[in-house]
């Protein structure tokens, strides 16, 4: 699966402070990676319509059982509302037992710095 392109569900105000969230997931098995891949489209559709989402992308290395997400949000509350709702909530709960290693990072940037860079996300993670 190639990297999903940076998608902009909602355009941020020009000088807004943007809350960035990056994640890295490594599954225990190839079966877990397949389950992650199968559930990705539903979560991707949810983020593409999420209130407060300013951008998102996903990078996948399924044969290495590793996935990265990178997203920009209006606020930590908007990110939290997304994570606890829709397809994401049951998907993350269902995939949790499949995970070998999970890392999260958050930081802030100005809206003019979007779209986000994968190199910076790797540094934060």
pLDDT at residue 1, as a whole number: 59
- Could you list the residue range(s) of the whole structural domain that residue 71 is in? 4-124
pLDDT at residue 68, as a whole number: 97
pLDDT at residue 2, as a whole number: 72
What's the CATH number where 82 sits? 3.30.70.100
Task: Round to whole Å and give the CA distance between 19 and 70.
Answer: 11
CB 121 within 8 A of CB 34: no
Spell out the per-residue pLDDT of the chain, length 125, in tens.
579 999 999 999 999 999 999 999 999 999 999 999 999 999 999 999 999 999 999 999 999 999 999 999 999 999 999 999 999 999 999 999 999 999 999 999 999 999 999 999 999 99
Instruction: Output the pTM of the full model.
Output: 0.94
| Reduced 3-state DSSP string for 80-117 | HHHHCCCCHHHHHHHHHHHEEEEEEEEEEEEHHHCCCC
- Total count of domains within the chain: 1
């Amino acid at each position: 699966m190639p990297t999903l392109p940076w998608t902009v569900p909602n355009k941020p105000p020009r000088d807004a402070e943007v809350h960035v969230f990056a994640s890295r997931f490594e599954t225990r098995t190839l079966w877990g990676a397949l389950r992650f891949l199968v559930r990705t489209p539903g979560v991707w559709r949810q983020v593409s319509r999420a209130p407060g989402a300013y951008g998102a992308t996903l990078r996948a290395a399924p044969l290495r059982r590793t996935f990265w997400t990178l997203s920009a949000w209006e606020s930590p509350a908007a990110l939290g509302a997304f994570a606890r709702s829709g397809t994401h909530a049951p998907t993350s709960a269902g995939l949790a037992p499949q995970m070998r290693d999970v890392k999260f990072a958050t930081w802030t940037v100005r809206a003019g710095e979007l779209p986000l860079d994968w190199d910076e996300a790797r540094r934060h993670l």
